[in-house]
Structure 1
Amino acid sequence: MEVIVTLPQSALPIGPQGIFDVARELGVSEDHVEPYGRNKAKIDLAALARPASGAGRLVLVSAINPTPAGEGKTTTSIGLAMGMRRLGKRAVLCLREPSLGPVFGVKGGGTGGGRATLVPADDINLHFTGDIHAISTAHNLLSAMVDNACHFNTSFGDKGAIDPRQVTWGRALDMNDRALRNVVVGLGRKADGVPRQDRFDITAASEVMAIVALAEGPEDLERRLGRIVIGQSTSGAPITAADVGAASAMTALLRDAIKPNLVQTDEGGPALVHAGPFANIAHGCSSVVATRLGLLSGDYVITEAGFGFDLGGEKFLDIKCRTMGVFPRVLVLVATLRALKMHGGAPVKRAAEPDEKALEAGLAHLDKHLDSAVFFGLPVVVAINVFPNDTQEELALVDAAMKRRGVRAVRCEGFMRGGEGALELAEAVATAADATDGAPPAPRFTYELAEPLRDKITKIARTIYGADGVTFTAAAERDARRIEELGHGGVPICMAKTQLSLSDEPTLVGRPTNFQVTVREIRLSAGAGFAVALTGDMMTMPGLPREPSALRVKLLPTGKIRGLMQND
């Protein structure tokens, strides 16, 4: 057995390291490192069998609801990890993998910004280690086998054959392409298949992505894949991936994809970047296996949940933490003055200008997320992601408002200064996390699993969004009854809701009141182990904007790629 010799944290270099050095800092033996080139690697799941070497304090980074002005949650997460490392803390970063849809769409890359970035950024934002491609392929293998069974009218014992009109399993593609939301397959000759209506979801919304993110290992992965419900038979019975015989081959395709990816921050600290479910249409968290590896290795595990605390944060707690049996020590809520002013009514073109009236109004939005944090019993540090033209007067206004609430607000300049610009935030978060060692926050959830699906959805809407209640369409009512009749009523809820508002209406910024949330459809994700409640106009296949980020992406003669990140 290899003896891992690590440098004291205070002696660690500030700057990118060789990938084996990064693994050594993480406490992972070279025997468990599978290099993908020079500066990224897979970590064998055998590394999870070793004894814990860190205190494993889990830090959840979330944010206010996003606006076009930007919040910088990933940049702040990376800066926080850099700052902790500079303080001599053993910090491990756990983030999601970027999807090519947003990279070439509105958002651009997902590797931070400025001096708070991951490396190799180009690789991570593009094909990385091939995980998302493998997930797309596994998803579409099941699609092909479903259509093959329809073509040959295969009978599945007492259940009978698949009813082509009742197939609910679509196809997946890692790209924003609105033209694929509704398609017809099987056109042409009789030999070309059974004609039926179908759809494409973006891979980040695929149930296979959610399964990879939540599986504990290969055996659990195959069990979950086998539970996927692809539709109904002619007798009305549910047909699963196990019935079709696809689960084992799908697992084989995902052999490497389930292993966490190791990269590093631009200052050399370890970052586990693995799985990429969206938070507005999926559960928005990085993988369970990456988080477990981080908890084994680090004293502080910094992980983010997608979009605002009402989406990614709630799902992180109610789905992922409940599944893993863990709970955060502290919550970091990221905000910017610009975004707060937009939630206070300022237009995006004027959000960077001083406007104390809009800022004060926007603080009500932050206040709702703080109320939700109190509900979950989590200590909070508010991180203000500072822009160069932020005024001291407005920053002081936020400080005073947070002080009145008994919450510490800390300014973070990770974008401009890397880890040095996040030292104060790192100290505040470490202090808050350390203070829980004697009595960590007890797990608390928005609902009990045994409650009816409609009641669970209503509790999320009232408690986390501030809604008066929920309106269920007739179709959603039927969906709920069907899921409960199939014996899956005890699953958690994954809300598919706009990220731009606490409500299900994107234009309602700030802290909306006197509103109802409308649920139009509920989909069972039996393999992932949750039910997806679709609200408003949420689509599981996004579209590109009028001027997609792809227009700015270019391969340079040096081999570098320009335009993957916003403002690049």
Structure 2
Amino acid sequence: MLTDIEIARRAKLKRIDLIANELDIPEEHYSLYGKNIAKVSHNYINELQFKEDGKLIMVTAITPTPAGEGKTTTSISLSMALNKIHKNSLVTLREPSLGPVMGIKGGAAGGGYSQVLPMEDINLHFTGDIHAITSAHNLISAVIDDYIKYDKLNIDPTRVSWPRAMDMNDRALREIIVALGGRKNGYPRQDGFIITAASEIMAILCLSQNLEELKNKLSNIVVARNRKGEPITVKDLEIEGALTVLLKDAINPNLVQTLENTPAFVHGGPFANIAHGTNSILATKLALKLSDYVVTESGFGSDLGAEKFYDFVSPTFGLKPSATVLVATIRALKYHGGQKKDELNTPNTENLKKGLANLQVHVENLKKFNLPVIVSINKFYSDTEEEISIVENFCKELGVESSVNEGFEKGSQGAIDLAEKVVRLTEKESNLTPIYNFEDPIEKKIDKLAKNIYRAGKVEYTSSALSSLRYLKKYGYDKLPVIIAKTQNSISDDPNKLGAPKDYTFTIRDFELSAGAGFVVALAGDILRMPGLSKVPNAVNMDIDEKGDISGLS
């Protein structure tokens, strides 16, 4: 089979203005970024309020493994298949971060015959959104140190909570000292870098519907405390206007297309293990007005991205999802059953059956949101008919439908069965029921999530977490929704607990406030907001020839 980039280069793309015209987007509401990319004005949605929303289908997965699950590939193939069966569909996805692209994960534009294009541009600098977010983030850092130097706002240099950011994996920058070199360079203090996808500004951009809302959210970011212990916000720094100027184009959703010319919005990219993990609300809402079936995805497993989408994003913005697609692979299930990574292509029904416990916990969790669920079995060449049959029969026992998806090898044709079953699911009456209520005290929110989704027996708080909790309550931030930041490698707070752990102690070690984005982050386990590169990073596989053709990007 051809590589992803070889398949992408053989694709026959339509000019993006033709895609926009097919969606009935007036020319004055989009700007071209070359022949294959356009930005659609965030204001255009105001002219579409008379239209009914389409059906919203959310794609999630079992607990991630090194074997890969294929959420993006499934999302793209499903949307293309819906169009193939004459259902008007659009797919919305997150933008890839350069850190994972150059690191261990590689690109995030789908794979095989289910990709969004132009994949080289999408996986690299795209339209500059992430660079704009990085610049805005670091403007705040620069102003903080400027104000410390000139003794403005009485900022306590030991209580600055706003790190610097860059869109690259670099573990050496997690903990640094800034302003060395004498008085002229400012006040030396401990600082650090996070990856841009982990920036609160990334979350804010994806949760803003217009420039006024964006500016207001930016102004509410808490960046430090003064020497009295009181919060200092971006509004206090008086730079919310400048930040919004830097993000004036980034707020506009990016329009591209799939290999089969299905329209796609690729916009925003917050991680799901440390933020809410879905593409911009603008892209989703715009897609709902422009098509009958919108396929979107959430990051990592359903205990992270899907939970946040159903408990936070959907209630906040009045979204009404119609169905959930849970992606699983035979290989990943065998890994959860104890099979070694280098043996995943070897048939092993015993380990597969052991790993089904992980599938079960995700199905049960998703059912708690009161939405219909279907399991998409993302087929690999090494899967045997016996192994596939075991998973299909297990799904029947769980009371959910399943479908074997071959979108990677066959594009839309490989996802026809999934598309037809999803359409039938969306016709069922459903009413999203979140796990917690916004009015619940913060401890009750966490307790509900820990016991209902993460299957813990009890929740404990460290002394640091209790101290931060007192601060949140003192200034009224404890009423905000909760985002749990935890490992993606287990439904628990321990990455080594594979399968379906239960009745353990779920530990909250601290809290971080994202007042601008509108949530509190509860930190469970050791979560790194600046990843490191692997021993052999994906960057060593990349090259470009004298013609400008890139190789090694997938």
Q: In the alignment, what sits opposite 1:46?
A: 43
**Which residue identity lines up with residue 551 of structure 2 in the other structure?**
R
Alignment of 1:97 onto 2:95: yes
**SS in structure 1 opposite 2:250?**
coil
**Which residue in 2 is equivalent to 1:539?**
528
On the 8 A contact 1:54/1:299 being kept in 2, the answer is: no
Match of 2:343 in 1: 350
Q: Does residue 456 of structure 1 match 2:449?
A: no
Correspondence 1:351-366 to 2 at 5 A: 351-366=344-359
1:563 counterpart = 2:545: no
- Identify which range, 41-50 or 126-135, moves more after superposition: 41-50
User: 2:134 maps to what in 1?
Assistant: 136
Q: Which residue of 2 aligns with 1:267?
A: 260
Counterpart code for 2:258: T
| Aligned match of 1:3 | none
CA–CA separation in structure 2 for the residues paired with 1:121 and 1:542: 23
Q: Indicate if the aligned counterparts of 2:458 and 2:503 stay in contact, CA closer than 8 A.
A: no
* Alignment-derived partner of residue 455 in structure 2: 466
2:59 corresponding residue in structure 1: 61
**Aligned with 2:56: secondary structure?**
strand
How do 1:183-194 residues align onto structure 2 when only pairs under 5 Å count?
Answer: 183-194=176-187
Match of 2:84 among 83, 86, 96: 86
- Quote the residue 1:150 is aligned against: 148
2-structure distance, mates of 1:20, 1:90: 18
CA contact (8 A) 1:262 1:270 kept: yes
CA distance in 2, matches of 1:347, 1:54: 49
Q: How many residues get paired?
A: 543
Distance 1:548 1:40 in 2: 29
Query: Aligned residue for 2:468?
Result: 479
Unaligned runs of 5+ in 1: 1-13, 156-160
Alignment of 1:195-214 (within 5 A): 195-214=188-207
**Which residue of the partner structure matches residue 113 of structure 1?**
111
Question: C-alpha separation between the residues in 1 aligned to 2:535 and 2:71?
Answer: 25
Moved more, 522-531 or 461-470: 461-470
1:353-392 equivalences under 5 Å are 353-392=346-385
Partner of 2:483: 494
Q: Distance in 2 between matches of 1:53 and 1:111?
A: 30
Amino acid at match of 1:454: E
The question of 1:182 aligning with 2:179 is answered no
The alignment status of 1:422 with 2:415, answered yes or no, reads yes
CA drift of 1:562 comes to 1.4
- DSSP 3-state at the match of 1:81: helix
- Deviation of residue 54 (structure 1)? 5.8
Q: Which amino acid aligns with 2:96?
A: P
TM-score (norm 1): 0.94
Runs of 4+ in 1 over 3 A off after TM superposition: 52-55
Would the aligned equivalents of 1:317 and 1:327 in 2 still touch at CA under 8 Å?
A: no
Matched-pair contact (CA < 8 Å) for 1:72–1:385: yes
1:158 equivalent in structure 2 = none
Residues 161, 223 of structure 2: 8 Å contact kept: yes
Measure, in 1, the Cα distance between the counterparts of 2:76 and 2:284.
16
State the shift of 1:252 in Å.
Answer: 0.2
Q: Which runs of 5+ in 2 are unaligned?
A: 1-10
Q: Is the 8 A contact 2:371 2:432 kept in 1?
A: no
Secondary structure of 2:509 counterpart = strand
After TM superposition, the score normalised by the length of structure 2 is: 0.96
Partner of 2:394: 401
Q: Which amino acid aligns with 2:112?
A: G
- 40-49 vs 206-215, greater mean Cα deviation: 40-49
SS of the equivalent of 1:74 reads helix
- Preserved contact between residue 25 and residue 270 of structure 1 (Cα < 8 Å): no
Aligned-residue sequence identity (percent) comes to 47
Letter in 1 for 2:145: D
CA separation of 1:55 and 1:207: change in aligned 2, threshold 3 A: closer
Cα contact 1:60–1:331 (8 A) shared by 2? yes
1:27 matched to 2:24? The reply is: yes
Alignment of 1:226-375 (within 5 A): 226-375=219-368
Q: Check conservation: 2:42, 2:209, Cα contact below 8 A.
A: no
The letter of the residue matching 2:74 is: T
- The secondary structure found in structure 1 opposite 2:453 is helix
2:76 and 2:116 in contact (8 A); partners too: yes
1:15 CA displacement: 4.7
- Native 8 Å contact 1:26 1:92 kept in 2: no
Q: For residues 390 and 546 of structure 2, what CA distance do their matches in structure 1 show?
A: 48
3-state DSSP of counterpart to 2:116:
strand
What residue is the counterpart of 1:554 in the other structure? 543
User: Aligned partners of 1:560 and 1:88: how far apart in 2?
Assistant: 36
1:388-424 CA deviation, whole Å, 9 max, x = no partner? 1211111111111111222111000000011111111
CA RMSD of aligned residues (A): 1.2
Residue 33 of structure 1 and its aligned partner are, at CA, apart by: 1.3
Could you tell me which residue of structure 2 aligns to residue 76 of structure 1? Answer: 74
CA distance in 1, matches of 2:481, 2:552: 39
Deviation of residue 514 (structure 1)? 2.7
- Partner SS state of residue 442, structure 1: coil
Task: Check whether the contact 1:54–1:298 (CA below 8 A) recurs between aligned residues.
Answer: no
Q: Deviations over 1:280-320 (max 9, x none)?
A: 12210100100110111110110000000000000111121
Once the 2 structures are TM-superposed, how far is the Cα of residue 63 of structure 1 from its aligned partner? Answer: 0.3
Give me the whole-angstrom Cα distance separating, in 2, the residues matched to 1:384 and 1:412: 6
Is the contact made by 1:100 and 1:125 (CA closer than 8 Å) also made in structure 2? yes
Q: Which moved more, 1:315-324 or 1:60-69?
A: 315-324
Write the distance in 2 (CA, Å) between the matches of 1:55 and 1:234: 49
Q: CA deviation at 1:513?
A: 2.0
Q: Counterpart in 2 of 1:4?
A: none
Q: Which moved more, 1:22-31 or 1:95-104?
A: 22-31
Q: Is the 8 A contact 1:39 1:120 kept in 2?
A: yes
Specify the alignment match of 1:11 in structure 2.
Answer: none
User: Once the two structures are superposed, what CA deviation does each residue of 1:154-190 show, in whole Å capped at 9, x if it has no partner?
Assistant: 13xxxxx111111111111111111111111111111
Task: State the distance in 2 between where 1:400 and 1:450 align.
Answer: 41
Secondary structure of 2:375's aligned partner: strand
- Secondary structure at 1:295's aligned position in 2? helix
Could you say which residue in structure 2 is the equivalent of 1:36? Answer: 33
Letter in 2 for 1:16: L
Deviation at 1:563, TM superposition (A): 1.4
Amino acid at match of 1:313: A
Moved more, 25-34 or 37-46: 25-34
Alignment partner, residue 213 of structure 2: 220
Name the aligned partner's letter for residue 543 of structure 1. G
User: How far apart are 1:511 and its partner, in Å?
Assistant: 0.5
Contact 1:181 1:201 in 2 (8 A): yes
User: What secondary structure sits across from 1:256 in the alignment?
Assistant: coil
Match of 2:435 among 423, 427, 446: 446
1:16 aligns with 2:13: yes
Task: Classify the secondary structure of the residue corresponding to 1:372.
Answer: helix
Give, as a single letter, the amino acid of the residue that structure 2 aligns with 1:384.
I
